[in-house]
Structure 1
Amino acid sequence: MTRRWMFRLVPVALAAVVMLYQFVISPKYTNPETGRTAHLGLTTQQESALGMQSFQQVISQSDVVSSGPEAEQVRRVAARLAAVTGPYAKDFEWQVAVVRDPQVNAFCLPGGKICVYTGILAVTKTDAGLATVMGHEMAHATSHHGAERMFKQNMTQTAMMGVQGSMGGMDYQQQQMVMGLLGAGAKFGVLLPFSRDHESEADKVGLMYMARAGYDPRESVNFWKRMAESSQGKQQPEFMSTHPVHETRIRQLEAWIPEVMDEYEAAAKPAER
């Protein structure tokens, strides 16, 4: 091995040491619902602080619906779902905001800050449909997906910096080509599948939440069928997307529903879901 190649390996070796350090010191979390253990890029306290900051920013810039049937429905469903998230979310301070906006959207920030846009209510239609969406979003928060994604991005960025540092001697065009290929590989081979795995886990955990709260889990399939109709074929190919395509989601949910029916039947009440 020539001295030049040895010098090129130094940045890669340093990056590997940094990645090992990040791996060792990062907090870990085992999802009680799925048993999957993940490394996190933030502590729970840091997550919650960022979640609160983002939530306050959204509220300050939005038309918040504070009363009326829409707000009452969202709060009712949120309360029942929050009650079944278990001891692993005991430190969450759940808050709900309904935003007057035609966007078909909802999200739950770290620490339990939920935002539902009125535009999605036309698609959810029922409490069970809304529980599908909110259970999914709450599952992202209780599973600490944001902090896990930050850890993965930090590791990927460190690796890319190591490779970039080893490219001395290449001309600028060659460096750009190599970094472009590596960036595409990291995006399509690591980060997007990673995000899709999070979406699938949130679907499964959210299904558990809605069943335990007494909402018919079979309604989750009907909701995603309505979402497929509303998107009118505008989805990206799955390998290019952070979310599974609707057909994949529906197929997975149909496979998981029998696993949660006992919990639903035990929790179900006479009230309409």
Structure 2
Amino acid sequence: MKKILITALVSAFFIQCSTVPITGRKRVNFVSDAQILPMSFQQYDGFLKENSSKVIKNTPQAKELVEVGNKIADAVDKFMRANGMTSEANAYKWEFNLINDKTINAWCMPGGKVVFYTGIMPICANTDGVAAVMGHEVAHAFAKHGQERMSSSQLQQYGGVAVAIATANESPQKQQLWSMAYGLGSQVGVMLPFSRTHETEADKLGLVFMIMAGYKGEEAAKVWVRMSENAKKSGQKAPPEFLSTHPSNQSRIQTLRAYLPEAKALAAKYNKQAASVGSSKK
């Protein structure tokens, strides 16, 4: 039974392994767009209905958000269509909404459903800052991080089952000890670094997409400088990076500054590629 379970897990890992475009990172994803996108769109609509009184429309800030979102979504769409990802591009239903909430946050659900809270707008500070945050959030959807997190959670559960089977002949105390050790080890050693990998990847992809859309990539690092300054002013104490789902602000600033030249080169390359494909279809 143990060998069968291990074989099944290993087989599933290799069968479902794919590559994230642009970064080239290998990912494991058991969850198809057909499975997750209807749920994503339904949850997004439910969120908007529950927060209908907080949705901001037709203000300069809200209009700016939609304009920036559409430009970056267009850059992503052109990239996908120029790189054989037409069916995926067709599946996205882009939507951008501003919510009146002091929380410093923004998020994007699978399929391109984006929300910004008004609390993050001072951190964005300007249009390029909005584009930096927008690029990052859109990149999560592009790289299918939501699907990958669901898949990794399934693998974590399967691992827990494997531990239970492997320790079935042990005393209840030892079984509990092994279960706790696996839970802690998989969380700190696998799930948290996995989340940080997603955040760093979204930072890099978002930088490429915002530059493709015509925004200044230098602003991306400045957003995190402002985020760091705000955290210090408010007395926030971040956990050690190895216990956090996100890289530290300083790590992100360094990564974005170091990656900027490559992001500019990639953005120019992909814009040229998209233009070439577009002209050939005329």
Q: TM-score, normalised by structure 2?
A: 0.85
Q: Distance in 1 between matches of 2:12 and 2:194?
A: 18
Alignment of 1:64 onto 2:58: no
Deviations 1:239-258 (A, max 9, x none): 00110000111111111011
Provide the residue aligned with 2:89 in structure 1. 90
Structure whose residues are more often helix by fraction? 2
Alignment of 1:237 onto 2:240: yes
The size of the alignment, in residue pairs, is: 256
Could you say what secondary structure the match of 1:90 adopts? helix
CA shift for structure 1 position 70? 1.7
Over 4 Å off, 4+ runs: 262-267
Q: Distance in 1 between matches of 2:168 and 2:265?
A: 61
Q: Percent identity?
A: 34
Is 1:128–1:215's contact at 8 Å kept on the other side of the alignment?
A: yes
Alignment of 1:111 onto 2:111: yes
Classify 1:14/1:220 alpha carbon distance in 2 versus 1 (closer, same or farther; 3 Å): same
CA shift for structure 1 position 17? 3.1
Q: Distance in 1 between matches of 2:46 and 2:117?
A: 15
Could you say what secondary structure the match of 2:237 adopts? coil
Is 1:15–1:159's contact at 8 Å kept on the other side of the alignment?
A: no
Q: Is there any run of 5+ residues in structure 1 with no aligned partner, and where?
A: 1-9, 268-273
Classify 1:30/1:22 alpha carbon distance in 2 versus 1 (closer, same or farther; 3 Å): same
Alignment of 1:251 onto 2:265: no
Alignment of 1:30 onto 2:19: yes
Provide the residue aligned with 2:38 in structure 1. 49
CA shift for structure 1 position 83? 1.0
Q: Distance in 2 between matches of 1:17 and 1:221?
A: 44
CA shift for structure 1 position 105? 0.7
Classify 1:41/1:231 alpha carbon distance in 2 versus 1 (closer, same or farther; 3 Å): farther
Alignment of 1:76 onto 2:79: no
**Equivalent residue letter for 1:52:** F
CA shift for structure 1 position 18? 3.0
Q: Distance in 2 between matches of 1:20 and 1:260?
A: 35
Could you say what secondary structure the match of 2:97 adopts? strand
Q: TM-score, normalised by structure 1?
A: 0.88
Is 2:101–2:119's contact at 8 Å kept on the other side of the alignment?
A: yes
Classify 1:247/1:47 alpha carbon distance in 2 versus 1 (closer, same or farther; 3 Å): same
Is 2:163–2:178's contact at 8 Å kept on the other side of the alignment?
A: no
Q: Distance in 1 between matches of 2:268 and 2:214?
A: 7
Is 1:217–1:264's contact at 8 Å kept on the other side of the alignment?
A: no
